[in-house]
Amino acid sequence: MEVRTKKERFTNPLYLESGRILEPYEIVYETYGELNEARDNVVVVCHALSGSHHAAGFYEGDRKPGWWDGLIGDGKTIDTKKYFVICTNTIGSCFGSTGPSSKIYPSDEEYRLKFPVITIRDMVRAQHILFNKLGIYNVEAIIGGSMGGMQALQFGVDYPNFAKNIIALATTHATRPWVIAFNKVASEAIVNDPAFKEGKYNRTEIEQNGFEGLSIGRMAGHISYLSPHSMDKKFGRDYVETDGLYDLFGRYEVDRYLDYNAANFSKFFDPISYLYIVKAINIFDLSMGYESLEAVLGNFRSKLTLIGFKSDMMFMPEEMREIDEAMRGLGKDSKYYEIDSDYGHDAFLVELEKFQDIIEGVLQ
Amino acid sequence: MEVRTKKERFTNPLYLESGRILEPYEIVYETYGELNEARDNVVVVCHALSGSHHAAGFYEGDRKPGWWDGLIGDGKTIDTKKYFVICTNTIGSCFGSTGPSSKIYPSDEEYRLKFPVITIRDMVRAQHILFNKLGIYNVEAIIGGSMGGMQALQFGVDYPNFAKNIIALATTHATRPWVIAFNKVASEAIVNDPAFKEGKYNRTEIEQNGFEGLSIGRMAGHISYLSPHSMDKKFGRDYVETDGLYDLFGRYEVDRYLDYNAANFSKFFDPISYLYIVKAINIFDLSMGYESLEAVLGNFRSKLTLIGFKSDMMFMPEEMREIDEAMRGLGKDSKYYEIDSDYGHDAFLVELEKFQDIIEGVLQ
């Protein structure tokens, strides 16, 4: 399936939770499958921190498909013969939607650190506006993992009549200090890299050579995406260098993995976008402004499906159980599934076979 | 109890596992209590990564006592009325024993990155030589937590007739990739800080202003010393800044904690020592050179007491259970205690009341 990115431009202001506005703003997105005449066969997919709107299919000439291609496509779990699937790049990100690397209209200056702080609610609001513009007023399901799960939950709260089903994986109702601490390491590493230059870094330089600060931050991220057991299986205590165990800078296999993935990542992800997105994750608390989780979940009308992973070290299963218990306490339609997995947080991206039946069940 | 640091200098070479030697070398240490005439009332205490030989008592004018003062002293768990307690600064560290900030004899040049890689076995060998010099040929117990626990276990393997009891807390028999990954973040942050200058940093500058690279590394460390639950209790989602939630650089309480502690730490801990000590921790594998854990534990003659903490995210209880099971499989004297604690890895430093009875029981 070859896909292309689409773009919508909005000239009305987007009112943000912070009180600031984005005006104008753009949202890029991809769609897979065909919208039916009733415009009611829509499945929305929301991406995580480092993800993009490229959820499935191949770009021309590419050998790697979108990040959830195993789930989305002709005859797959989210079947594009039946559903019109849409995935947008969140505002604040760096893959085409308005974010810190966009220009401040009408000047030629990039926002960089002048970009307003955005929240999960803002990301959801912007998507909702896009969907309305596309003539989509309700959808079969909204599905997302990690930060994508936060968006899915927020959709259920802010637009209770919009989605028949909300499916949230490997996520939470409120970011815990444990995750904020990982994000702190990343933010400090980015901001303190002298190449950051208070946000005035040279973009071409970074794209060519990578950006050490983001690379270190991404390493900290990887720790939280994996788990002690998945690392044991993946790396063990294997040692990769040939110059001996007693070389101070000799590396274990896990070091090599971190070096390789983090350096790659820092070449294509904008460090300022990283700061803004982890900030949005830190702020996320579904019940902010409400008295309790129960109080905010009172808004929910969608059927909720929660999928947690036993070894997830970032958003722990207990956090999803709390949502499920609160929902059922309110007499709402909620189901929680806990998947046995050694893959940690990454399971929602790699162990598709362990939860695709659950999603298929919801979509039938 | 006012204490002073003692120092021994050795002019014979210390043969290291790497094949390199230290010559001469010095070991600083502290003692509490009196050595009896039989010289057999000795308890050895081993410190962790960032610890020192200052395990108990106060230095003149100081308001903060040594790191295990709650356990060591007159009438305390490790009773200095009965025992002669000795704690040495490990070689490679930065509190007085020979390490990267020592001078290369007979020149005036500091070792810095020319220092040889040292291992837990090397640390233990150096201590054993010191004890022999002091006329101590066997001891009542060797006790340590975290890297101190590694040393205690290694003592049991390398000098089977030396200690009647080995007590190891919050430790492992082989460092897992999970911990190596945390250490990787720290090492990268240190080495990539431009102030590091390939090890040729200005020491005075660092002592005055701190060292951002080590500070970031220490933040990553703190994550592994705490636990999701201890962070929930300690910080929750409290926000400290007065300039609003929507300030990109606004901080949560957990951010403030990390900033404060990490900045302080980076003023008194040598970044190169940090690199060497995490390297020693990474290398640690009790059964290296043996066919299995069982094979190496075959050497053990000391009675072994293992204390693990349920919420420890650095060295998990299962790692200590493996040691206990291997020991008991060999018919050796071993006991494992698992402590219910929310404090994570730090529990061995803060929740003394939860395990002091166990240590007291061993020492009776």
Which residues sit opposite B337 in a β-bridge?
A: B307
Amino acid found at A346? D
Which chain B residues are Cβ-neighbours of A233 within 8 angstroms? none
Burial A252-270 (b: 16+ CB within 10 A, else e): bbbbbbbbeebbebbeebb
Torsion region of A261: left, alpha or beta (phi above 0 gives left; psi -120 to 50 gives alpha)? alpha
Task: Output the six-digit token pair for A46.
Answer: 């929301």
Q: Is B180–A228 a contact, with Cβ atoms under 8 angstroms apart?
A: no
Q: Which of B192, B234, B245 sits opposite A212 (nearest CB)?
A: B192
Q: Identify the pLDDT of residue A242.
A: 65
Q: Which of A215, A231, A246 sits opposite B176 (nearest CB)?
A: A231
Which chain A residues are Cβ-neighbours of B178 within 8 angstroms? 223, 226-228, 231-232
User: Once rounded to an integer, what is the mean pLDDT over residues B105-124?
Assistant: 98
Same structural domain, A12 and A149: yes
Q: Is A245–B276 a contact, with Cβ atoms under 8 angstroms apart?
A: no
Domain end point (choices A279, A296, A322): A279
Query: Which residues of chain A carry a pLDDT beneath 50?
Result: none
Q: Is A177–B232 a contact, with Cβ atoms under 8 angstroms apart?
A: yes
Same structural domain, B147 and B272: no
Q: Which of A223, A235, A275 sits opposite B248 (nearest CB)?
A: A275
Round to whole Å and give the CA distance between B310 and B320: 11
The 10 Å Cβ neighbour count of residue B130 is: 20
Q: What is the mean pLDDT of chain B?
A: 97
Same structural domain, B59 and B105: yes
- Chain Cα centroid distance, residue B349: 11
Is the Cα dihedral A112, A284, A146, B186 positive or negative?
positive
Task: Output the six-digit token pair for A123.
Answer: 């990301």
Residues 68-87 of A with CB under 8 A from B: none
User: Which residue from A minimizes the CA distance to B115?
Assistant: A248
Q: Identify the pLDDT of residue A47.
A: 98
Which chain B residues are Cβ-neighbours of A283 within 8 angstroms? 245-246
Q: Which of B117, B216, B275 sits opposite A246 (nearest CB)?
A: B117
Same structural domain, B46 and B78: yes
- On whether the CB atoms of residues B260 and B200 are closer than 8 A, the answer is no
Q: Please tell me if residue B352 touches chain A, with a CB cutoff of 8 Å.
A: no
Same structural domain, B289 and B220: no
Closest CA to A307 of A86, A141, A159: A141
Same structural domain, A170 and A265: no
Same structural domain, A303 and A272: no
To probe the interface with B, which of A246, A292, A313, A315 has the most B CB atoms within 10 Å? A246
Strands (DSSP E) contained in chain B are 6-10, 14-15, 21-22, 25-32, 42-46, 72-73, 78-79, 84-88, 139-145, 163-169, 303-309, 334-339
Same structural domain, A105 and A247: no
Total count of domains within chain A: 2
Which chain B residues are Cβ-neighbours of A223 within 8 angstroms? 178, 181-182, 185
Residue pointed to by tokens 């070389």:
A247
Q: Is B17–A235 a contact, with Cβ atoms under 8 angstroms apart?
A: no
| Three-state secondary-structure class, residue B66 | coil
- How close is the nearest chain A Cα to the Cα of B114, in Å? 10
- How close is the nearest chain A Cα to the Cα of B206, in Å? 16
Residues 226-285 of B with CB under 8 A from A: 226-228, 231-232, 234-237, 245-248, 252-255, 258, 275-276, 279, 282-283, 285
Q: Please tell me if residue A26 touches chain B, with a CB cutoff of 8 Å.
A: no
* Cα maximum dimension of chain B: 68
- Chain Cα centroid distance, residue B360: 21
Burial A106-121 (b: 16+ CB within 10 A, else e): eeeebbbeebbbbbbb
Q: Which of B18, B181, B258 sits opposite A181 (nearest CB)?
A: B258
Q: Identify the pLDDT of residue A2.
A: 83
CA contacts within 13 A on the Cβ side of A98: 26
Closest CA to B271 of B147, B94, B119: B94
Residues 6+ apart with CB under 8 A from B256: B240
Q: What are phi and psi of A45, to 5 degrees?
A: -115, 130
Enzyme catalytic residues of B: 146, 312, 345
Domain that holds residue A275: 179-279
- How close is the nearest chain B Cα to the Cα of A223, in Å? 7
Round to whole Å and give the CA distance between A14 and A18: 11
Which chain B residues are Cβ-neighbours of A218 within 8 angstroms? none
Q: Is B180–A255 a contact, with Cβ atoms under 8 angstroms apart?
A: yes
Domain end point (choices B279, B312, B343): B279
Gyration radius of chain B's alpha carbons: 20
Same structural domain, B293 and B199: no
Q: Is A285–B237 a contact, with Cβ atoms under 8 angstroms apart?
A: yes
Enzyme catalytic residues of A: 146, 312, 345
Which chain B residues are Cβ-neighbours of A252 within 8 angstroms? 177, 180, 282
Q: Is B181–A236 a contact, with Cβ atoms under 8 angstroms apart?
A: no
| Residue A79 lies inside a defined structural domain of this protein | yes
What is residue B201's DSSP assignment? -
- How close is the nearest chain A Cα to the Cα of B271, in Å? 13
User: Which residue from B minimizes the CA distance to A243?
Assistant: B18
Q: Identify the pLDDT of residue B241.
A: 76
| Residue B237 lies inside a defined structural domain of this protein | yes
Round to whole Å and give the CA distance between A79 and A41: 11
User: Model-level pTM greater than 0.95?
Assistant: yes
Q: Please tell me if residue A289 touches chain B, with a CB cutoff of 8 Å.
A: no
Round to whole Å and give the CA distance between B150 and B215: 25
Domain end point (choices B254, B279, B304): B279
**Has the ipTM of the complex gone over 0.85?**
yes
Round to whole Å and give the CA distance between B72 and B143: 11
Can you give the CATH number for the domain in which B89 is found?
A: 3.40.50.1820
- On whether the CB atoms of residues B70 and B352 are closer than 8 A, the answer is yes
Which chain B residues are Cβ-neighbours of A116 within 8 angstroms? 246
CA distances to B131, B137, B157, B316, B358 from B40, rounded to whole Å, are 12, 8, 20, 34, 21
pLDDT band (50, 70, 90) for residue B252: very high
Which chain A residues are Cβ-neighbours of B188 within 8 angstroms? 212, 215-216, 219
Q: Is the pLDDT of residue B242 over 70?
A: no
Amino acid found at A151? Q
Q: Please tell me if residue B181 touches chain A, with a CB cutoff of 8 Å.
A: yes
Q: Is A248–B117 a contact, with Cβ atoms under 8 angstroms apart?
A: yes
Burial A39-72 (b: 16+ CB within 10 A, else e): eebbbbbbbbbbbbbbbbbeeeeeeebbbbbbbb
Strands (DSSP E) contained in B279-339 are 303-309, 334-339
Sheet holding A25-32, edge to edge: A6-10, A25-32, A84-88, A42-46, A139-145, A163-169, A303-309, A334-339
In tens, the pLDDT along B188-203 reads 999 999 999 999 999 9
Q: Is A248–B182 a contact, with Cβ atoms under 8 angstroms apart?
A: no
Q: Are strands B84-88 and A72-73 parallel, antiparallel or unpaired?
A: unpaired
Which chain A residues are Cβ-neighbours of B19 within 8 angstroms? 246
Q: Please tell me if residue B182 touches chain A, with a CB cutoff of 8 Å.
A: yes
Can you give the CATH number for the domain in which A265 is found?
A: 1.10.1740.110
Residues 185-214 of B with CB under 8 A from A: 185, 188-189, 191-194, 212-213
Round to whole Å and give the CA distance between A102 and B160: 66
Q: Is A279–B18 a contact, with Cβ atoms under 8 angstroms apart?
A: no
Q: Identify the pLDDT of residue A244.
A: 84
Q: Identify the pLDDT of residue A241.
A: 76
| Residue A1 lies inside a defined structural domain of this protein | no
Same structural domain, A32 and A154: yes
The 10 Å Cβ neighbour count of residue A340 is: 10
Gyration radius of chain A's alpha carbons: 20
What does the DSSP assignment read for B114-179?
Answer: GSPP--HHHHHHHHHHHHHHTT---EEEEEEETHHHHHHHHHHHH-TTTEEEEEEES--SB--HHH
Same structural domain, A48 and A167: yes
Residue pointed to by tokens 């989780």:
A293
Q: What are phi and psi of B25, to 5 degrees?
A: -150, 160
Round to whole Å and give the CA distance between A122 and A314: 23
| Residue B1 lies inside a defined structural domain of this protein | no
Q: Are strands A139-145 and A163-169 parallel, antiparallel or unpaired?
A: parallel
Closest CA to B236 of A175, A291, A186, A322: A175
Same structural domain, A252 and A341: no
Q: Please tell me if residue B20 touches chain A, with a CB cutoff of 8 Å.
A: yes
